[in-house]
Amino acid sequence: MREYDTKLAAKAKKRSYHKKKWKQIRRAIYIVFMFCVFFTLKTGMSHATAGEIDTEYPVTIERVVDGDTFVVKQNHKKYKVRLIGVNTPESVAQDESRNTETGIAASDYSKKHLPKGSQVYLEFDKETKDKYGRLLAYVWLTDNCSYDNYQDFCTYNYGAILMQNTYCDAVYYEPNEKYREWYEQLELQYQ
């Protein structure tokens, strides 16, 4: 009888041990799951393709990251967008020694001229994403202009506006070169 009780006690102890382990594993899985849900909701970012953005309709500025990068929203999805053709100096680099006064000024300029809730239009070129998952686009302040007209480009293309206010340099990464000549012309004129 004692041997039987000892075996039952050992089985019960083993069962109790396994229950505790499974409870710990379930708890760990739950924590990881909730962290993922929280992170996704907090950032709200979608790793999208340009095909998910309807260029016939505007996108809404959610926030300015720095002078040449923005978070936009369309159809309840958020996307990080990097301007094509221009580069502003750093203002939010993790290595703070890379951040410059000019970069901070460019970021402040973009925050002032593209406040949350403003609407802009995106135009894509051949390559639509960079290695960081950001959408690559030209940003237009209106669609009530000709994208093929140099004067309209200078007036309504946000990269051209940054260039005219000396906040950026022209920069190109193939194959996105649609407005290369116009950006270079502005750079010569304003830099």
What φ, ψ does residue 53 adopt, rounded to 5°? Answer: -90, 130
Q: Which of 90, 96, 174, 184 is catalytic?
A: 90
Q: Residue 48's closest CA among 74, 84, 67?
A: 74
Dig out the tokens for 70 from the structure. 């923005």
Catalytic: 2?
no
The label of the residue with tokens 């300029």 reads 109
Active-site hit among 134, 177, 181, 187: 134
* 181: annotated active-site residue: no
Catalytic residue among 26, 62, 63, 82: 82
| Catalytic (active site) residue 177 | no
Nearest to 72 by CA among 6, 23, 139: 139
CB-count burial class (<10 Å; 0-12, 13-18, 19+) for 159:
buried
Give the containing element (helix H, strand E) for 162.
Answer: helix 158-164
Exposure of 159 in the CB half-sphere (CA atoms within 13 A): 31
- Please, what is the Cα angle at 15 between 14 and 20, to 5 degrees? 100
Catalytic positions, written as ranges: 82, 90, 134
